[in-house]
Chain A
Amino acid sequence: SLSAKVSAGRLNGKMREKTLTMDTLNPQVKAVEYAVRGPIVIKAGEIEKYLEEGGTKPFSEVIKANIGDAHAMGQQPITFLRQVVALCTFPELMDSPSFPEDAKWRARRILQGCGGHSLGSYSASPGVECIRKDIAAYIEQRDEGVPSDWENIYLTTGASDGIMTILRLLVSGKDSSRTGVMIPIPQYPLYSAAISEMDAVQVNYYLDEDNCWALDINELYRAYQAAKLHCQPKVICIINPGNPTGQVQSKKCIEEVLHFAYEENLFVMSDEVYQDNVYTPDCQFHSFKKVLYEMGPEYFNSVELASFHSTSKGYTGECGFRGGYMEVINMDPEVKAQLVKLLSVRLCPPLAGQAAMDVIVNPPQPDEHSYKQFHQEKSSVLGALADKAKLTEQILNAVPGIKCNPVQGAMYAFPRIFIPPKAVEEAKALGMQPDMFYCLRLLEETGICVVPGSGFGQKDGTYHFRMTILPSIEKLKVLLGKVRDFHISFLKEYSALE
């Protein structure tokens, strides 16, 4: 209350007023929401502490299935990657016989590209030159020869950093000329958070749940036309493979999006951090860049496209290193200079992350010593993820009132949940989103922490949650069993029949 604040503020008869209060705080910051680490996760943290301090709950541990953090859920790092980074960190290890030669020469090469041959030097702001070149070579190979210019590659502090930087360049104008940013619904809430912070205009286009979360070009067009009435749509963001939905877009769909962007003059941002996480055999990752190239020079030489990758996902799961890159094509050269200038203020992305990225784009080759173990570890991780994707879809679809689209890729399931009207009412009475209400109950009763669909966006009147497929397969089975039991009992509790 105001009077409480006032009396708390009195000291020696003087009014103590803070400079920075909720009233004086940047309103754009207030508008920001990031559900992946939002209220439910904070609650999960509190419960964890409670358990640690000896408190009792109907469960013995909190299972954090809210965030795409593979190592936290027990996935092992790729040995070769850690060897190279360790060698870069402590070059005295170059004399150690326990490190293979192929790791050593990669480390030497990276260090040679560093000031004073140390990972402790700032690099050039776009990143270490030889790493940028390695990334370009990787992209060319991945895209079957489509040329990649290393000077269009920028290393970033995770993909999030690159995405925010590009958005910062793009957001301008006022009122009806304010930049509109087209984002998928559901989306990874970095996008909505960035849009809020920058006071850009969020333009939602709905993915088609009935069609395995496919992108519908007519829906894009509808969203665009509606948005033009109140803002200036300038950029379209796509996440492929999708987060939270996991859909892997078809080549045809990507073509349609690019054609749309070409026609409507949109800058394309293609978030491809899950490019190595494709599980369904009849799905394939097609980079936006490659598809653009295949559409012919008219498109390839004109559509402004920024594509993002990261060390956090794939088969390496190196989230903590904050490694990433973006490839930016067809950017106006003067704007490019502005981009470089903007990046320079933060000096450079973390060198350890840059080194990790280098290993990802320059992995052991079949003729190298470390190849066997590397390949085995990689296959094991990706195979396990594919198994868990299938398992999750199967178990969830067997639950009455839960419907889960195939987890074609990425690291999440985003099932649709039926929430009985009585529960919806109770949630609304509490001032809560119905799926938040559901997820909080799930957390309190089972210790399982997932993120409500409202944190990602969904069609009105539908409810979902996002859970990761990252726990070990045994734990995942237990988790899914508990979700099933919970859902059935929740339905019973709130069923309309008295």
Chain B
Amino acid sequence: MCSIHTVIPHPLFCCCYETLNGKCLALRTNITSFSKAMSENGALPLRGKVLTLDTMNANVKKVDYAVRGPIVQRAVQIEKELKEGVKKPFEEVIKANIGDAHAMGQRPITFFRQVMALCTYPQLLDDNKFPEDAKNRARRILQSCGGNSIGAYTTSQGIDCVRHDVANYIQRRDGGIPSDPDNIYLTTGASDGIVTILKLLTTGEGRTRTGVMISIPQYPLYSASIAELGAVQINYYLNEEKCWSLDISELQRSLQAAREHCNPCVLCIINPGNPTGQVQSRQCIEDVIRFAAKENLFLMADEVYQDNVYAEGCAFHSFKKVLFEMGPEYSSKVELASFHSTSKCYMGECGFRGGYMEVMNMDPEVKAQLTKLVSVRLCPPAPGQALMDLVVNSPQPGEPSYQTFMKERTAVLSALAEKAKLTEEILNTVPGISCNPVQGAMYSFPRITLPERSINEAKAKGQAPDMFYCMKLLEETGICLVPGSGFGQREGTYHFRMTILPPTDKLKIMLNKLKEFHQKFTQQYS
């Protein structure tokens, strides 16, 4: 090649080097002609991919998220086929897999969208079709934004006035127990807050690796995050016979077993539950708090369905409230993070990715680390923050928008309550299906009895038996549900999770189709 001695010899870079003052001046051939020359000579360098299944982050491979997993991908494919005119035994796919209310026809709350529009396009503040209470809230939010624009970054913890409003809401909700705005962090949906807290907590190696206690069944964000962070998943089983209630003895058992191989330091609860819908009793929440205090566990309370309580005799008790009512011995000690979201309840504003977490009794130095960590992503979406403000600062009696707001809110929640009851009733008339009361949240999680033959066929295919069932259901009826294996369940039991979100008439049709399918399936594989 080149006769001039080089500082950094590299055969492919250049034909000829010169050095000047020790710095290499590469005189190289034109890159494109080099490439062309290579191809022409047939001397194509073999270039494998940098990023393959073998070289990628192994933890990512372990992640599963059934709610948008393989069955949903198939459902989307079928939808495309229907659009292209392919004939199926049904006309439409019913996506009862995900807690997305608007997608199933639920309407947004008018007042919320008015304020959001005013924040987005403040010229509308001059439009007399917008009520004054909406305008006041929009002005207040905008005043708290940089340059009075929701296009500015907010502080990483979230817009100040929104955090104050969230704190006030929590205080009102919890019968006056004080809430400090400084403990409030706005988040990009509740998922964001949950993952952030888990990041802080995950540490150690081998036997000292952080163990995270999660309910079985659970919302698979938890198992997915645990897998990605390389933490240790610790399962505690909810009691299906007792309406999915939480058993302290089961918590104890699971903790003890886990201590053999990891360092359990966090306990996650979803109340009201997902996928089970159970609303924990106050006594149960107290017992859990006592357990967490005794065993030095950081408590994570996922309360995104706090307004979705339907069953008589059930009521939502926030972990924070119960904690404080247990007295200073607990309220000043137990580390608790509680999560809320704009995606559920009566708002159903999933797409805005609004959420918050309230963090109690966090070590101040760790809190500073938390604030630092969230600062790297700058801030949660400002529209989602604005929306959360409206949720916690909704129209009050006497305000112009109050009546319409209450009407809409009540309509949504009562429809959900009806559908919860309807779902439970119809499913329980199906031989081989047993459905616990849907006390809250947005799902039913019925137990299904599967014929032995179907279980064997599934296993032969390398499929979970309830996945096999759900796939068949999808192909034959167009109904998309998520198999219980995606959430976790006791060995040898099978379930599916179905939302109660489709409009009542569609829901009835869906449930009856399900009934027919189950009977047919049972017969087919008997």
The interface-forming segment of B30-38, B419-427, B428-436 is: B30-38
Known A20-B366, A26-B202, A352-B381; contact A304-B51, beta-carbon cutoff 8 A: yes
Query: What chain A residues lie within 8 Å of B297 (beta carbons)?
Result: 19
Q: Which of A121, A321, A330 contacts B351 (CB 8 A)?
A: A121
Chain A count of residues within 8 A CB distance of the other chain: 114
- The reply on A361 being an interface residue by CB < 8 A is no
The answer to whether B352 and A119 have CB atoms under 8 Å apart is yes
Residue of A nearest to B292 (CB): A19
Q: Which of A24, A45, A73, A171 contacts B147 (CB 8 A)?
A: A73
Query: What chain B residues lie within 8 Å of A217 (beta carbons)?
Result: 13, 26
- The reply on B461 being an interface residue by CB < 8 A is no
Known A67-B153, A172-B57, A295-B31; contact A320-B117, beta-carbon cutoff 8 A: no
The answer to whether A322 and B31 have CB atoms under 8 Å apart is no
The interface-forming segment of A134-142, A262-270, A373-381, A422-430 is: A262-270
- The reply on A100 being an interface residue by CB < 8 A is no
Please, what's the 1-or-0 string for B74-115, where 1 marks a CB less than 8 Å from any CB in chain A? 001000000000000000000000101111111010000110
The answer to whether B224 and A345 have CB atoms under 8 Å apart is yes
Please, what's the 1-or-0 string for B323-346, where 1 marks a CB less than 8 Å from any CB in chain A? 000001100110100000000000
The answer to whether A320 and B379 have CB atoms under 8 Å apart is yes
- The reply on A17 being an interface residue by CB < 8 A is yes
Please, what's the 1-or-0 string for A213-238, where 1 marks a CB less than 8 Å from any CB in chain B? 00001100110010000000011000
Max chain A C-beta neighbours (<10 A), residue from B12, B23, B108 = B108
Known A267-B50, A295-B32; contact A90-B189, beta-carbon cutoff 8 A: no
The answer to whether B384 and A235 have CB atoms under 8 Å apart is no
CA–CA, A75 to B44, complex, Å? 51
Q: How far is the CB of A127 from chain B (nearest CB, A)?
A: 11
The answer to whether A20 and B377 have CB atoms under 8 Å apart is no
Q: Which of A45, A72, A161 contacts B153 (CB 8 A)?
A: A72
Q: Which of B51, B154, B189, B372 contacts A346 (CB 8 A)?
A: B189
- The reply on A190 being an interface residue by CB < 8 A is yes
- The reply on B177 being an interface residue by CB < 8 A is no
Query: What chain A residues lie within 8 Å of B265 (beta carbons)?
Result: 19-20, 24
- The reply on A250 being an interface residue by CB < 8 A is no
Q: Which of A282-330 contact B (CB under 8 A)?
A: 294-296, 298-299, 302, 304, 312, 316-322, 330
Q: How far is the CB of A48 from chain B (nearest CB, A)?
A: 11
Q: How far is the CB of A297 from chain B (nearest CB, A)?
A: 8
CA–CA, A441 to B329, complex, Å? 45
Query: What chain A residues lie within 8 Å of B146 (beta carbons)?
Result: 69, 71-73
The answer to whether B351 and A25 have CB atoms under 8 Å apart is no
CA–CA, A296 to B34, complex, Å? 10
Query: What chain B residues lie within 8 Å of A486 (beta carbons)?
Result: none
Residue of A nearest to B350 (CB): A122
- The reply on B49 being an interface residue by CB < 8 A is yes
The interface-forming segment of B119-127, B403-411, B466-474 is: B119-127
- The reply on A477 being an interface residue by CB < 8 A is no
- The reply on A123 being an interface residue by CB < 8 A is yes
- The reply on B365 being an interface residue by CB < 8 A is yes
Query: What chain A residues lie within 8 Å of B35 (beta carbons)?
Result: 295-296, 298-299
Known A265-B50, A350-B188; contact A120-B349, beta-carbon cutoff 8 A: yes
Residue of B nearest to A298 (CB): B35
The answer to whether A161 and B124 have CB atoms under 8 Å apart is no
Query: What chain A residues lie within 8 Å of B68 (beta carbons)?
Result: 125, 344, 347
The answer to whether B52 and A353 have CB atoms under 8 Å apart is no
Q: Which of B227-257 contact A (CB under 8 A)?
A: 228
Q: Which of A351-409 contact B (CB under 8 A)?
A: 351-353
The answer to whether A320 and B8 have CB atoms under 8 Å apart is no
The answer to whether B298 and A19 have CB atoms under 8 Å apart is yes
Q: Which of B61, B63, B188 contacts A322 (CB 8 A)?
A: B188
Q: Which of B48, B58, B100, B296 contacts A17 (CB 8 A)?
A: B296
Residue of B nearest to A291 (CB): B31
The answer to whether B32 and A86 have CB atoms under 8 Å apart is no
- The reply on A98 being an interface residue by CB < 8 A is yes
- The reply on B221 being an interface residue by CB < 8 A is yes
Query: What chain B residues lie within 8 Å of A116 (beta carbons)?
Result: 102-106
- The reply on B151 being an interface residue by CB < 8 A is yes
CA–CA, A322 to B108, complex, Å? 22
CA–CA, A321 to B200, complex, Å? 26
- The reply on B378 being an interface residue by CB < 8 A is yes
The answer to whether A170 and B151 have CB atoms under 8 Å apart is no
- The reply on B143 being an interface residue by CB < 8 A is no
The answer to whether B381 and A338 have CB atoms under 8 Å apart is no
Query: What chain A residues lie within 8 Å of B191 (beta carbons)?
Result: 345-347
CA–CA, A294 to B31, complex, Å? 10
- The reply on B169 being an interface residue by CB < 8 A is no
The answer to whether B102 and A120 have CB atoms under 8 Å apart is yes
- The reply on A130 being an interface residue by CB < 8 A is no
CA–CA, A36 to B188, complex, Å? 20
- The reply on A58 being an interface residue by CB < 8 A is no
Query: What chain B residues lie within 8 Å of A234 (beta carbons)?
Result: 50-51, 55
Please, what's the 1-or-0 string for B1-19, where 1 marks a CB less than 8 Å from any CB in chain A? 0000000101011000000
The answer to whether A298 and B44 have CB atoms under 8 Å apart is yes
The answer to whether A118 and B108 have CB atoms under 8 Å apart is yes
- The reply on A152 being an interface residue by CB < 8 A is no
- The reply on B460 being an interface residue by CB < 8 A is no
Query: What chain B residues lie within 8 Å of A345 (beta carbons)?
Result: 63, 65, 191, 221, 224-225, 228
- The reply on B388 being an interface residue by CB < 8 A is no
CA–CA, A295 to B36, complex, Å? 9
Residue of A nearest to B384 (CB): A350
Query: What chain A residues lie within 8 Å of B36 (beta carbons)?
Result: 296
Q: How far is the CB of B106 from chain A (nearest CB, A)?
A: 7
Q: How far is the CB of A207 from chain B (nearest CB, A)?
A: 15
Please, what's the 1-or-0 string for A110-126, where 1 marks a CB less than 8 Å from any CB in chain B? 00001110111111110
Q: How far is the CB of A236 from chain B (nearest CB, A)?
A: 10
The interface-forming segment of A77-85, A272-280, A411-419, A447-455 is: A77-85
CA–CA, A348 to B103, complex, Å? 14
CA–CA, A82 to B121, complex, Å? 6
The answer to whether B298 and A20 have CB atoms under 8 Å apart is yes
Known A27-B203, A73-B147, A345-B224; contact A352-B352, beta-carbon cutoff 8 A: yes
Q: How far is the CB of A172 from chain B (nearest CB, A)?
A: 5
CA–CA, A342 to B60, complex, Å? 7
CA–CA, A225 to B9, complex, Å? 12
Q: Which of B298-328 contact A (CB under 8 A)?
A: 298, 328
Query: What chain B residues lie within 8 Å of A125 (beta carbons)?
Result: 68
Please, what's the 1-or-0 string for B265-297, where 1 marks a CB less than 8 Å from any CB in chain A? 110000000000000000000000000000011
Q: How far is the CB of A377 from chain B (nearest CB, A)?
A: 13
Known A26-B203, A344-B65; contact A71-B350, beta-carbon cutoff 8 A: no
CA–CA, A334 to B60, complex, Å? 12
Listed A/B pairs (11) with beta-carbon separation below 8 Å: A11-B333, A16-B332, A24-B265, A86-B117, A96-B127, A96-B129, A160-B377, A172-B58, A190-B376, A319-B153, A350-B353
Given contacts A169-B56, A352-B383, 10 further A-B pairs with CB under 8 A are A18-B335, A86-B120, A92-B113, A96-B127, A197-B376, A217-B26, A218-B23, A330-B49, A338-B60, A345-B225
**Chain B contacts to A: CB under 8 angstroms:** 8, 10, 12-13, 23-24, 26, 31-32, 35-36, 38-39, 44-45, 47-53, 55-58, 60-61, 63-65, 67-69, 76, 98, 100-106, 108, 113-114, 116-117, 120-121, 123-124, 127, 129, 145-147, 149-156, 188-189, 191-192, 195, 199-203, 221, 224-225, 228, 265-266, 296-298, 328-329, 332-333, 335, 347-353, 361-363, 365-366, 369, 372-373, 375-384
**Chain A contacts to B: CB under 8 angstroms:** 11-12, 16-22, 24-27, 29-30, 32-34, 36-38, 45, 67, 69-75, 77, 82-83, 85-86, 89-90, 92-93, 96, 98, 114-116, 118-125, 157-158, 160-161, 164, 168-172, 190, 193-194, 197, 217-218, 221-222, 225, 234-235, 255-256, 259, 262-263, 265-267, 294-296, 298-299, 302, 304, 312, 316-322, 330-332, 334-335, 338, 341-342, 344-353
3 A-B pairs with the lowest CB-CB distances in the bound complex, closest first: A115-B103, A72-B146, A320-B382
